[in-house]
Amino acid sequence: MKARLEEIKAQALAQIAAADSMEGLNAIRVAVLGKKGELTEVLKSMKDVAPEDRPMVGQIVNETRSAIELELDTKKAQMEKDLREAKMKAEVIDVTLPAKKSELGHRHPNTIALEEVERIFIGMGYEVVEGPEVEKDYYNFEALNIPADHPAKDEQDTFYITGDILLRTQTSGVQVHEMEKGKLPIRMLAPGRVFRSDEVDATHSPSFHQIEGLVIDKNITFADLKGTLAEFAKALFGEQTKVKFRPHHFPFTEPSAEMDVTCFKCGGSGCRFCKGSGWIEILGCGMVHPHVLEMSNIDPEEYTGFAFGVGLERIALLKYEIDDMRLLYENDVRFLKQF
Ligand code: DAH
């Protein structure tokens, strides 16, 4: 039996020395020390040993077990140390590598242009207000003097949600919301997103932005409109800018006009930018139609007003000399960073 124990020990130590993985080492532990292991089998034959020899044999068994356990633990610790070292080596950090750049965002040209327009009008005492993008037919058309069968309704290809609810095609409806509040006088600027069922191209998009302006007070005349918008043009495009008003038609203003500014590229002599004319159209405007005032419970005998509508993208494209509106919607940081 002693010889058998010596044999088990020698064999186990040789196997442990040769083991090259944690799994291998565990298998040896189970095969030798486990419940059905070799050493346990030997213990079962203790009953055949003469009683007086049992303490001695027992001691040898214990010594064998301890020796094997010690060897297993030492080898295990060694293996874990080797693994850790290998891992550390593989994980070496090269501090000389260039760092990843974190890209900063950038304000959109639309935002920059809008903030500039707002700054100009706030300086003239205007309040910036907002209205809903999902709108009732009444506010988008009816209350602006565009009744059901009016051709202007077809001009603005409308996205309808129901027969009566639509995505606003213009910010002009905010005028009505403000007038309905019943607080006079009004000096408001209403920027916002509008929607029209248009195909995307260099100058069109199904969704774009307008800035609406409305002034209502006693004794407001066309001279106030001209003076205000001329000041606006100078503040936006430079002191040398001149304006000109061309008669136009909008259902909710009478008289109505479109305003052109002298081309800020050539100063009015004509260039590629203004298509040779020296002028660039920037907004629609007019005196608020008496019927529009009446529908919102304002007495046109007592109060008058003017309104204007500017395309925000148009201002941004002009100011930053961008020739394709699609660039404004792609949000490529390399493009946006230039402004
Ligand atoms: N709502 C008009 C449009 O979308 C723009 C406009 C023209 C607004 C004249 C006005 C205005 O307030 O007075 O074409």
Better-scored residue on pLDDT, 115 or 101: 115
Lowest mean pLDDT among 54-63, 129-138, 202-211, 294-303: 54-63
- Ligand 1 near 178 CB (within 6 A): no
Per DSSP, helices labelled H in 181-270 are 222-237
Segment (H or E) for 109 = helix 109-123
- CA distance linking residue 271 with residue 220, whole number of Å: 37
CA of 285 to the centre of ligand 1 (A): 6
Best mutation site among 249, 252, 310, 312 for ligand 1 pocket (most ligand atoms within 8 Å of CB): 252
pLDDT at 93 over 80: yes
- Ligand 1 near 250 CB (within 6 A): yes
Residues 6 or more apart whose Cβ sits within 8 Å of residue 211: 114, 117, 171, 189, 190, 191, 309, 310, 312
| Position in ligand 1 atom list of the atom nearest CA 253 | 13
User: How many of the other CB atoms lie within 10 Å of CB of 49?
Assistant: 14
27-61 tens-digit pLDDT? 998 988 888 888 888 878 888 888 888 888 888 88
CA of 259 to the centre of ligand 1 (A): 11
Tokens of 208: 């774009």
Report CA torsion sign: 147, 173, 154, 292: positive
- Ligand 1 near 309 CB (within 6 A): yes
225-256 tens-digit pLDDT? 999 999 999 999 999 999 999 999 999 999 99
Best mutation site among 308, 310, 314 for ligand 1 pocket (most ligand atoms within 8 Å of CB): 308
What percentage of residues in the chain have a pLDDT greater than 90?
61
- Ligand 1 near 307 CB (within 6 A): yes
Better-scored residue on pLDDT, 181 or 264: 181
SS3 of 261, please? strand
| Position in ligand 1 atom list of the atom nearest CA 171 | 1
- Ligand 1 near 195 CB (within 6 A): no
> Residue 155: its pLDDT value, please?
66
Residues 6 or more apart whose Cβ sits within 8 Å of residue 97: none
Amino acid, res. 165: I
SS3 of 207, please? strand
- Ligand 1 near 212 CB (within 6 A): yes
